[in-house]
Amino acid sequence: MADRLKDMFFKPAFFDDLAAACKAVYPTFDTERFLTRIYDLGWEDRELKERVRHTTVTLHSLLPEDYRSALSLLYRVAPNLRSYGFEKMIFPDFVEVYGLEDWDTSLPALEQFTQQASAEFAVRPFILKDQGRMMAQMLEWTGHKSHDVRRLASEGCRPRLPWAISLPALKADPTPILPILEQLKCDESEAVRRSVANNLNDISKDNPHVVIEVLRGWQTHDTVEMRWIINHALRTLVKAGDPEALELLGYPSQAAILVKNLVIEPATVSIGDKIAFSFEIESTGASPQNLMIDYIVHLVRAKGKQTQKVFKLTKKTIFPGETLTVTKRHSLQPVSTRNYYPGEHAVEIQINGAVFARGEFVVIGP
Residue 270 forms beta bridges with which residues?
364
Coil, strand, or helix at residue 290?
strand
Closest CA to 195 of 228, 173, 171, 218: 228
Q: How many residues does this entry show for the chain?
A: 366
Q: Which of 63-67, 165-169, 237-241, 279-283 has the lowest mean pLDDT?
A: 237-241
Residue 1 confidence class, pLDDT cut points 50, 70, 90: very low
pLDDT tops 70 at residue 90: yes
pLDDT score of 129: 97
Domains, in order of start, for the chain:
2-248 (1.25.40.290), 257-364 (2.60.40.10)
Residue 4's pLDDT is: 60
**H or E stretch including 140?**
helix 131-141
Strands lying side by side in the sheet with 306-318 = 268-270, 354-364, 343-351, 289-300, 306-318
Residue 59, helix vs strand vs coil? helix
pTM: 0.86
pLDDT at residue number 306: 83
Range from 13-22, 193-202, 302-311 carrying the lowest mean pLDDT: 302-311
In tens, the pLDDT along 26-72 reads: 999 999 999 999 999 999 999 999 999 999 999 999 999 999 999 99
DSSP helix/strand/coil, 67: helix
The mean pLDDT of the chain is 94
Question: Does residue 291 register a pLDDT over 90?
Answer: yes
